[in-house]
Amino acid sequence: MSDKRIALVTGASRGIGAAVAKRLAADGYFVVVNYNGSAQRAQEVVTQIVAAGNDAVALQCDVSDFDACGELIARITADYGRLDVLVNNAGITRDGLLMRMSEADFDAVIDTNLKGAFHTIRHAGRQFLKQRSGRIINIASVSGLLGNAGQANYAASKAGVIGLTKSVARELASRQITVNAVAPGFIATDMVDAMTDSAKAAVTDHIPFGRIGEPEEVADVVAFLASDAARYVTGQIIAVDGGMSIGC
Ligand code: NAP
C-alpha cells in the first residue's frame, strides 16, 4: 500500500515514458514503471526516481497481450489499493512504404500502439469507475494527425489512438474521468536516434521552432493533464511539436 496517488506509465524504461515517469514521481505520485524487454533500463529509471527521494517500482508487461495487461492492473490495485493516472506511452515503429509493408509489420504496430492502449484502458477502467476518478493520457503522434509517408501502420495506429481517446472520453465523462492525448512531433529518443542525420535535418526544416523536442517537454504536458489544473479538460489532443502541425 502507498498513501500516494498511483500512476502507471507504460513503456517507461526509456525515452518519453522514462521522462514522464520521473516527472510524475517528482509531482508526488508513486509510479509504476512498465517495460517489456528492457528490465535493466527500467530499473535504472526506478533507481533515479528513488535517488531523487521519490517512489517507483518497475513491472514487466507486454501491452500487446490483453490478459497480461489484466494481470498488471490487478497487481497494482491489489498492492497499492488504487490507480489514479494511466499513461499509455508504449509504442513501436516498423516503418516502410505501404507497397513493401508486411502484414506482420502492420499488425505488430497496431497490436502495441493501438490495442495496447485499449487493453490497459479496458482493465483499468473498472477501477476508475469504482473510484469515480481517474486520468487517462494516451501518447499519440503528429503522424496520426497528418499521416506520414513510410508510416502507414504507425499513423493508422496513432489515428486510432485519437479516435479511442475521444470515444472513451465521452463514455467516462459522467464519472469525472478524463481521457486526453498528447501528440508529440519529433522528440529526441531512441526512436528518432535511429534516423540518419540527413533525415533528421529534413524533418527539422518542417518544424517552425527549428529544433527537435526533448522528452521532458512532452512530460510537462502529460503532468498538466494529470494535475488538478486539467480537471475540466477531456477528449482533447494536444500537439507538442514545436508548431509542426499548425494548420492541420
Ligand atoms: P522509445 O524510446 O523507442 O521507447 C519505447 C518504449 O516503449 C520503451 O520503454 C519500450 O520498452 C516500450 N515498449 C515497446 N513495446 C512495448 C510493449 N509491447 N509492451 C510494453 N512496453 C513496450 O520510444 P519514444 O520515442 O520514447 O516513444 C514513446 C511514445 O511516444 C510512443 O508511443 C511513440 O509512438 C510516441 N511518439 C514518439 C515520438 C518521437 O519522436 N520520439 C513522436 C511521436 C510519438 P522496452 O524497451 O522494455 O521494450
Residue carrying C-alpha cell 479538460: 233
pLDDT class of 150 with cuts at 50, 70, 90? very high
> What is the CB < 6 Å shell around ligand 1?
10-17, 34-38, 62-64, 89-92, 112-113, 139, 141, 184, 186-187, 189-192
Distance, CA 153 to ligand 1 centroid (Å)? 15
Q: How far is 226 from 88, CA to CA, in rounded Å?
A: 13
pLDDT of residue 1: 73
What is the pLDDT of the chain when averaged over all its residues? Answer: 96
Average pLDDT estimate for 79-94: 98
Query: Percent of the chain, pLDDT > 90?
Result: 92
* Statement: residue 184 has pLDDT above 80: yes
Percent of residues, the chain, with pLDDT higher than 70: 100
Mean pLDDT of 64-84: 98
Provide the β-strand partners of residue 237.
181
* 212-234 average pLDDT score: 98
At 193, the pLDDT band (50, 70, 90 cuts) reads confident
Q: Which secondary-structure segment (H or E) carries 34?
A: strand 30-35
Could you identify the atom of ligand 1 that is nearest to the CA of residue 64? 18
Instruction: Count, in order, helices (H) and strands (E) of the chain.
Output: 10, 7
**According to the model, what pLDDT value does residue 171 have?**
98
- Measured CA to CA, the distance from residue 85 to residue 62 in angstroms comes to 19
* Distance from Cα 86 to the centre of ligand 1, integer Å: 15
Task: Supply the pLDDT for residue 248.
Answer: 53
Instruction: Return the residue whose CA atom lies nearest to atom 32 of ligand 1.
Output: 91
At 12, give phi and psi (nearest 5°): -105, 15
Q: Which residue among 29, 35, 154, 232 is the active-site one? A: 154
35 is catalytic: no
Which ligand 1 atom is at minimum distance from the Cα of 190?
2
221 and 182 Cβ atoms separated by less than 8 Å:
yes
pLDDT value at 88 more than 70: yes
End-to-end alpha carbon distance in the chain: 45
